[in-house]
Chains A and B, each alone.
Chain A
Amino acid sequence: MKKILKRAFFIILLLIIIYIVYLHTLYDYNFYSSLIEIPIPMFAKMEEKDTHGGFHGDGESLVKIYFSNKQAEKFIKKIKNNTHWSTLPIDEILQNCINNNSIEGMSVPLVENGYWFFLDRHSNATNKYDYNDMFNRASSNYSVAIFDKESNILYIYSLDT
């Protein structure tokens, strides 16, 4: 009887841990999907570097999400239906902002064929899809997403100062 109870306890503990990891994974996908306004396929391979933290929560993050051909096809369809996404090339001024930063060895390469998206998350932003205003502020809170059609990789860079 004791053995059965012990086994049951460990199984339940394992299930709880799996559930927590699942929720954390789900949380990331939901968070980034909401950020770029397009659903990201669940369980697409994701690599993430994030320096956000501390008392102010400042930092930068870079996420690389790898799509299969089918997933990429669906994703591009949704991009075309979203007016806040644009075709590359991205403006040089914005390109320099994201290419200037490497986070723990991970950086956004120069992508020529694909789409891009910008979101100004600053509290003073009047038009959150326009990046021009952000250069007049004391701090920056923005995200840039780039989808590379050649490699089917989605890059999402975020900065919070």
Chain B
Amino acid sequence: MHECLLCERDMKKSKNEFGNGCINNIYKFLDIEKPTRGKDKELFLYKNIMKKTNIYKINKEQKIWLADRYLTYQYLDKLTYGNFEKLKKQINEDIENVDKTEKFDEMITSKKIKLKEAYDIYKKETKFKTNLAKIENNEYKEEENIKLLITGFSYIFNIYKNQYEKNSFKAMQYVFWQTVIEVGRRYFNYKLAAELLQHSLKKDPKDFIIKDKKIINMIISDQNFKKKIKEILDKYNKKQNFYISQGKESMSFKNNDLYFAIHKANIEMSAKKNEDSSWEANITLSDTFDFTKFKSPFDYYFDANNIPKSILSSTLYNLAFISQKLGVIKEYNVIVKLTIKIQKNGEIEMF
């Protein structure tokens, strides 16, 4: 089987190193004018590359290796995401020494990265940038933007073939999550969720302590928060004071932004009853911002009572799980401390 050097598809009877389609792509990529009819495109390509690299006295095989390494370098050079400087430097060395090379395997980078691998990363990054531009330019409506986010970028969460693809995917995933944050802010006004996701993308995110009064008001106004506090006070109503240590009680938020940002939090609480039967309480809500369990396709379907919403949130969850495994998203603790007064009628006010 004789394969094209660029795409590795079987070229059957052709004796060339590149298929017809691929050689045309290469000409376009390198911005070289195609030769006039009658001239061999492949040989013309080798001549062009030899001219660009200023390497002339090489045999037929060395010309092919030179083209291979030169193209590999050019594809890597066009990449924005991922760090390939060391590899490019080594490829340059291989190019400079091609006239002394007797076997392709002797080249340092021949086993590190194939031409096809560099080409694949380049294609994926081009697709990524195209889809990103569509979202940034608002070419799609809100729902379409979200669908595009999922389908247009899911390949960057696939199993990577080599460490270079891994580096590239990691960098693109980082940009993907930045886009999710932007879409979340723009369309849904989920400020806290966006802020927590942004924080997880930092190199070494410290514990996130929520002090913003608006967010704290959002928390104490949350229906489920009020319900849980009432539940706890009803349980301890006969006591004058009580303490619940961390890990024994938890609650889920109803408010959309809190739901996406935190969802379920642990409660640590100490409370004291006043003479007028109101309570004063110190509450610490805590959670870990993380994605620890991959969801099966069945979990996707049965996740919520709305299948499209279910699929969207489950897909985003699994993508976040992959990003956390790769170290793009990092886990950290989210903590909020409240000192509140709960009136006899259940009304909650901040101290």
Which residues does A use to contact B, with CB under 8 Å? 23-24, 27, 50-60, 93, 96-97, 100, 121, 123, 134-141, 159-161
Task: Please determine whether B295 and A57 come into contact, CB atoms closer than 8 angstroms.
Answer: yes
Task: Please determine whether A137 and B246 come into contact, CB atoms closer than 8 angstroms.
Answer: yes
Other 13 A-B pairs with CB < 8 A, given A50-B302, A59-B263, A140-B247: A27-B298, A54-B260, A54-B304, A55-B193, A55-B313, A56-B290, A58-B264, A137-B247, A138-B286, A138-B334, A139-B333, A161-B250, A161-B288
Bound CA–CA A50/B193 (angstroms):
23
Q: Which of B284-319 contact A (CB under 8 A)?
A: 286-293, 295-296, 298-299, 302-304, 310, 313-314, 316-317
Task: Please determine whether A100 and B264 come into contact, CB atoms closer than 8 angstroms.
Answer: no
How far, in Å, is B244 (CB) from chain A's closest CB? Answer: 10
Task: Please determine whether B259 and A54 come into contact, CB atoms closer than 8 angstroms.
Answer: yes
- Of B250, B260, B265, B296, which is within 8 A of A55 by CB? B260
**B266 at the A interface (CB under 8 A):** yes
How far, in Å, is B33 (CB) from chain A's closest CB? Answer: 51
Q: Which 7 pairs from chain A and chain B are nearest by CB?
A: A58-B264, A139-B288, A138-B286, A138-B333, A135-B247, A58-B263, A161-B264
Task: Please determine whether B293 and A53 come into contact, CB atoms closer than 8 angstroms.
Answer: no
Give chain B's interface secondary structure class. Answer: mixed
Give chain A's interface secondary structure class. Answer: mixed
How far, in Å, is B149 (CB) from chain A's closest CB? Answer: 13
How far, in Å, is A146 (CB) from chain B's closest CB? Answer: 18
Can you report 14 A-B residue pairs in the complex whose CB atoms are below 8 A from each other? A52-B303, A55-B316, A56-B290, A123-B292, A138-B207, A138-B266, A138-B287, A138-B333, A138-B334, A139-B288, A140-B247, A140-B250, A161-B265, A161-B287
Chain B residue numbers with a CB within 8 Å of A51 are: 252
Number of B residues near A (Cβ < 8 Å) is 41
Chain B residue numbers with a CB within 8 Å of A137 are: 246-247, 266, 286, 288
**B117 at the A interface (CB under 8 A):** no
- Of B266, B310, B331, which is within 8 A of A140 by CB? B266
Chain A residue numbers with a CB within 8 Å of B288 are: 137-139, 161
Q: Which of B134-152 contact A (CB under 8 A)?
A: none
Given A53-B303, A57-B317, A139-B287, the answer on whether A134 and B247 have CB atoms closer than 8 Å is yes
**B248 at the A interface (CB under 8 A):** yes
Q: Which of B201-256 contact A (CB under 8 A)?
A: 207, 245-250, 252
Bound CA–CA A56/B266 (angstroms):
14
- Of A50, A54, A123, which is within 8 A of B313 by CB? A54
Chain A residue numbers with a CB within 8 Å of B303 are: 52-53
How far, in Å, is B337 (CB) from chain A's closest CB? Answer: 12
Given A54-B313, A56-B264, A123-B292, the answer on whether A135 and B248 have CB atoms closer than 8 Å is yes
Task: Please determine whether A53 and B304 come into contact, CB atoms closer than 8 angstroms.
Answer: yes
Chain B residue numbers with a CB within 8 Å of A96 are: 248
Given A56-B317, A57-B295, A138-B334, the answer on whether A159 and B248 have CB atoms closer than 8 Å is no
